[in-house]
Amino acid sequence: MTAPNSDQRRACWDARDALWKCLDDNKDDGTACEKFNRDFEANCPAQWVKYFVKRRDFLKYKEKIDTDGYESSEQSSKL
């Protein structure tokens, strides 16, 4: 696999940003964003797609922890 040039990277990032915006606007409803997902997968190398999906999951998890706080498994088992 050759490294994407700057235009290909920009197209990938734009497709990723459009997908993430759609997911944010639609409360992570993937069915509403299928077109954006297809564009994202078509414009980005598969390895990048995998990375960006994991990155979004991590960022959403981190945001949830920041807003709701952390509850350890010990605390939840005492409830």
pLDDT tens-place string over residues 39-50: 999 999 999 999
Average pLDDT, the chain: 89
Token pair recorded at residue 61: 């998890």
Counted residue by residue, the chain has a size of: 79
So where are the chain's domains?
6-78
Residues 48 and 40: their CA atoms lie apart, in Å, by: 10
pLDDT beneath 50, residues of the chain: none
What pTM value is reported for the model? 0.79
Q: How confident is the model at residue 73, as a pLDDT? A: 67
Q: How confident is the model at residue 76, as a pLDDT? A: 56
pLDDT tens-place string over residues 29-40: 778 999 999 999
Phi, psi of 3 (to 5 degrees): -70, 140
Residues 47 and 26: their CA atoms lie apart, in Å, by: 25
Q: Which residues contact 26 (CB under 8 A, 6 or more apart)?
A: 32, 33
